A = this chain, B = another copy of it.
Amino acid sequence: MFSTTCKYGIRAVLYLAIKSTNDSKIGVDELADTLCIPKHFLAKILQVLTKNKVVSSSKGRHGGFYLKKRNKQINLMKIIEVLDGTNRLTCCILGLETCDSTHACPYHNIVQQFRNDFYQKLENETIGEAAQRIDEHDFNLKNL
């Protein structure tokens, strides 16, 4: 469904949304350590996300990655678009060229309903809202 890159990216962004503030940024080391993600790989992912204005960063002492208010208003789908492209979520589960109800494969109908819902959630929920939801329900982001 998501590439490993994208899984790492989503988890990192959500973690930042919960734990970082403008005054307390988080370094790649800590982030990679906490979330059990290969450090250099995560660094690269965060660079891409930074370049695409999904996360913010600052260099030097007490620097690190963090989310500005503006970043928290971005919706989750944006992360996926940046890291995986949009096609990955919408293409036919059996790999057929077209995926729509007029060329439905045998599993299209079963899959489509769910995908619409999931898609909606990803498009309508901001990073900030997701973070809040995670906090409230104590959802998991780490490999414990």
Contact = CB atoms under 8 A, between A and B. Distances in A.
A111 B93 CA distance: 15
This chain: copies in complex: 2
Nearest to A14: B106
Interface string A75-96: 0000000000000000001111
A12 to B, nearest CB: 11
A26 interface: no
Interface in A88-144: 93-98, 103-108, 110-111, 113-114, 117-118, 121, 130, 133-134, 137, 139-144
Interface of A: 1-2, 4, 7-8, 10-11, 14, 93-98, 103-108, 110-111, 113-114, 117-118, 121, 130, 133-134, 137, 139-144
